[in-house]
Amino acid sequence: MRKILIIGAGGIGSFLIPILARTKLYKITVADPDIVEKKNLPYQNYEEEDVGVNKSTVMAVRYSVSNLPYAILTEKQLKGFDLVISCVDNLSLRRTLYRTDVNWLDLRAQGRNAAFISSDADPSQYDTLLAGPDGSFSCQGDSWDGSNKNVHFMQCAIAGIAAQWIQRYMNDEEVKNFGVFNI
């Protein structure tokens, strides 16, 4: 059974985890130190009763995956997995990931945009891909007013695209090393 580490169980990760878990093809570990907040409910795969609970713990209970309820901060924590998947909008983690020799897939969503980049992408592009302010950013982007009426769903789209990419990658089929989507 192939081992996958999914870092981040928020907008993207909370939708990717159940897709992959249903296949029963992977030993999935989810790492996320965050707790579910009420503001997450319109665009993350959580219910009202999950508010106040650690995100990776909710995913572990709901989908029978392993969890690490703390942050991934070092390269050593990334070792031992067949694929590490970043589902966080955090450049610090991405910098750590991009500088390792592990196989990784970086998933991004913000507003009406989404992208994936794999460890097979051209390393000369990494500086461009890692540019920008440090910090965390919502999958909803700056224009989201917090209402259900204006919620974006690109985090769901990139989770589905990533699940298909992972299936093909794990089957040693040809996959693209990056993709960008704008709706």
Model confidence at 55: pLDDT above 80: yes
Q: What is the pLDDT of residue 183?
A: 80
Q: CA–CA distance from 154 to each of 83, 85, 95, 142, 175 (Å)? A: 22, 17, 23, 14, 20
- The pLDDT tens digits for 127-182 are 776 665 554 455 666 666 676 767 778 899 999 999 999 999 999 999 999 998 88
Please name which of 159, 30, 137, 156 lies closest in space to residue 90, comparing C-alpha atoms.
137
* Residues counted in the chain: 183
Domains of the chain: 2-182 (3.40.50.720)
Q: What is the pLDDT of residue 112?
A: 79
Distance CA 92, CA 27 (A): 26
Asked whether the beta carbons of 42 and 53 are under 8 A apart, the reply is no
- The pLDDT tens digits for 78-97 are 999 999 999 998 888 888 99
What's the mean per-residue pLDDT of the chain?
A: 90
